[in-house]
Amino acid sequence: MEKILEILILFFSFFFIAQAGKENVCPTSYCGSFSIDYPFKLQNSKPQNDCYYMNLTCNNTLGNLGQPIVNLPYSGNFNVRYIGYYDPYIVLYDPENCLMRRLMNLNLSSSPFKAIAYENYTFYMCPSDASPIGYYVFPIDCLSNNTNSTVATALAEPDTMLQYGCKVIGSWLLPVLEPHQFEFNGINDDLYLGWNSTSCKACQENDPPADTGGSEDNLWRKFAESPYFITSFVALATFCVICILQIIRFIAGRYEINSNIPTADVQPESATATTGPPRSTVEGMDESKINSCTELVVVSENRRNTGTESNTCSICLESYLPKDVVRSIAKCEHCFHAECIELWLRKNRTCPVCRTVLVDVEEL
């Protein structure tokens, strides 16, 4: 068993060393704890192949919480909140928390990104105390002040808004993930964009990326889709089973050793008993010898243990109950549960308490 355990440990060592030394065709780069995979890379990173990449920059002022940034040529920089490689889509947000203002002038031309869907929104300037404010539409804080509230809606009828003193600012087709995405709150909303399909056989087949953004579920999915997942799982399961068997074997061995040792070390009753012979290494007695050197005693109600002041079996440490049948050793009158002393004398020929020799070697 120990040899198998050693072999498995060596296998795991070589396996993970080999994985660590394996050349990564499309290596992962990091901005803080944010991992970046193909088709994205950091702008200063050199590509390892001839595939097309989309560049990101990294804001390192946040230390370990560095933030990836994407630049849209006509719309400026946006922070990256999440990258979904399997759908695929990217989630962006405005670092100044005024996304709706940025969307009014958004231009995706000359960028690799495209809108997933579009929704027509009409922007209004309304009195801050107008009835619809806070009920049907909500103000965009970064575009509002104490007297006027700017709102954007794809649902409200223009006649209704004008009835409450609102003025039309303009209408824009905004990129959305789902209908009415920006209907009620223009603060901290995210911009969802897709990108044109790319093709890099080496990256897509040999190094499939996982979604990023700090999700533990995505990290697990990346590992589960690895070609080495099954091998690793089988090896790990075998390793765990062998470890459990080793633990069971160790516990069983300790139990077997402890079962051969008296569970109590009662002090001898006389000086003669103290100097008695040590436990014999010779085999114990058979049934006839046990019967000849012990006698059965029934524990009475008034006197629990005949021949000794103790009311407890020195082998199992359990008290005698009325009507219990015990065995008394003829030579020293120590008493024990019948089954306890019989098991003891099958392996030994001395009293467990005082070590009195019950049968000499010659008698065996």
Both tokens assigned to 235: 């090896």
Looking at residue 70, its pLDDT comes to 94
Both tokens assigned to 302: 């008034």
Residue 104 near residue 123 (C-beta atoms within 8 A): yes
Q: What is the mean pLDDT of residues 120-144?
A: 90
- Beta-carbon-side half-sphere exposure of residue 256 (alpha carbons within 13 Å): 6
| Residue 111 to residues 47, 87, 108, 194, Cα–Cα distance (Å) | 19, 19, 6, 11
Least confident of 126-135, 173-182, 261-270: 261-270
Looking at residue 79, its pLDDT comes to 93
pLDDT digits (tens, 9 = 90+) for 194-223: 987 666 766 655 555 556 654 444 445 445
Both tokens assigned to 107: 């231009």
Strand partners, 56: 42
Confidence of residue 3 (pLDDT cuts 50, 70, 90): low
| pTM summary value | 0.53
Looking at mean pLDDT, say which of 30-34, 251-255, 271-275 comes out highest: 30-34
Enclosing H/E stretch for 318: none
pLDDT digits (tens, 9 = 90+) for 81-108: 999 888 889 999 999 999 999 999 899 9
Residue 115 near residue 207 (C-beta atoms within 8 A): no
When the pLDDT of each residue in the chain is averaged and rounded to a whole number, the result is 76
DSSP class of residue 51?
A: -
Q: Which domains does the chain have, with CATH numbers?
A: 271-345 (3.30.40.10)
pLDDT digits (tens, 9 = 90+) for 271-310: 444 444 444 445 778 888 888 888 887 765 544 444 445 6
Looking at residue 118, its pLDDT comes to 93
Least confident of 161-165, 175-179, 211-215, 216-220: 216-220
Enclosing H/E stretch for 245: helix 229-259
Strand partners, 89: 84
Looking at residue 150, its pLDDT comes to 94
pLDDT digits (tens, 9 = 90+) for 330-356: 888 888 888 888 888 888 888 888 888
DSSP class of residue 284?
A: -
Alpha-carbon distance of 101 to 182, in angstroms, equals 12
